[in-house]
Amino acid sequence: MAFTLKQYASPDDYWKAREFFRALRIANLRPSENWHIADFDYWRWHWLENVVERSPNGLRYWEDADGEIVSVLAQGDPGVCHPMVDPAIDSADLRHAMLDIAEAEMVWALEDGRRFTFVWADETDDHLHGVLDARGYERAEGGHSTEHNAWQPLLEAPEPAPLPSGYTVRSMGDQDELSARSLASWRSFHPDEPDEGADPTGGWYRNVQRAPLYRRDLDVVAVTENGEIASFATCYFDDVSRTGAFVLVGTAPSHQRKGIAKGVMTETLRRLHHLGAVGAYASWYEPIAGALYESVGFTDQEIGRAWKKLV
């Protein structure tokens, strides 16, 4: 079967790719390295806009003879590639074509001149593993080389998780709370850096909120009595597949180990259930994050591995 390569050229391509990811998840709720539509939105509106500051024009996708997308190739961090294929398409030629693009255009260049491409693959995807082996890839080692993709059905609402005295869980506030939300995120993900590094305007978070799946009622925070945001869980909800996905979860160091993050995530899951969600997704790299997610029910997991090649 012949497939046609296309490059992202306009927002029409964004919306078309979204439907590809949505259809894959409706067909199979199992977690995998194929992104949930929320992951794609997060990549487009947060990762590209705020983190790597890169145009979406690097996105590639392949269509069949009917003009339907069968695979998408996206780059996260420089040189980190995500080849996502409809599982019904069992084509080594297509996978080789995707890796040809990845190795030519999606590379991480070191100061000494070496160039690497990293590729994510499901641990159980023997077909892709065979292609990677044939092309000279090897499994990467070290931090962020293993990803846990987890699923939790929501047949019933989880029981509320108690919070310590002095904390309240509620929805994220309006634009006046962007600065506080930005500071909480900075402290959570940059615990060893001074607060001066945080964006006082919270402008970056407006991009998180621009994603089509964003809802304020699923942007849940825990606040102290003086209004400080101690913990947060931002979940995107797709009302077509009726599934949610956590995209940002964190707790400022001074508020950790009190059960606050569990309380925030549990409240978010309860809200998802109230909306009629059939389940939710979460993913993580670090064991400490995994302990939190597993404590709220994300125990059904699939593992992704990073492979690397000197190109």
Residues 7-39: tens digit of each pLDDT = 999 999 999 999 999 999 999 999 999 999 999
Total-model pTM? 0.96
Tell me, which fold does domain 167-277 have in CATH?
Answer: Aminopeptidase (3.40.630)
- What is the b/e burial string over 274-304, where b = at least 16 CB atoms within 10 angstroms of the residue's CB? eeebebbbbbbeeeebbebbbebbbeebbeb
For residues 144-171, give the mean pLDDT.
Answer: 96
Whole-number pLDDT of residue 219: 98
Q: Are the CB atoms for 120 and 80 separated by under 8 Å?
A: yes
Q: How many CB atoms lie within 10 A of CB 79?
A: 20
Whole-number pLDDT of residue 150: 98
**pLDDT over threshold 80, residue 1:** no
**pLDDT over threshold 80, residue 291:** yes
Q: Domain spans of the chain?
A: 4-145+306-310, 167-277
For residues 148-163, give the mean pLDDT.
Answer: 97
Whole-number pLDDT of residue 142: 86
Whole-number pLDDT of residue 143: 82
Intrachain domains 4-145+306-310 and 167-277 with the same fold: yes
pLDDT above 90 as % of the chain: 98
Whole-number pLDDT of residue 305: 97
Looking at the domain that runs over 4-145+306-310, which CATH code has it been given? 3.40.630.30
The single residue listed with the structure tokens 């302990």 is 291
For residues 216-231, give the mean pLDDT.
Answer: 97
Inter-residue long-range contacts of 10-15, CB under 8 Å, 24+ positions, other chains counted:
13/59, 13/61, 14/44, 14/56
CA atoms within 13 A on the CB side of 19: 8
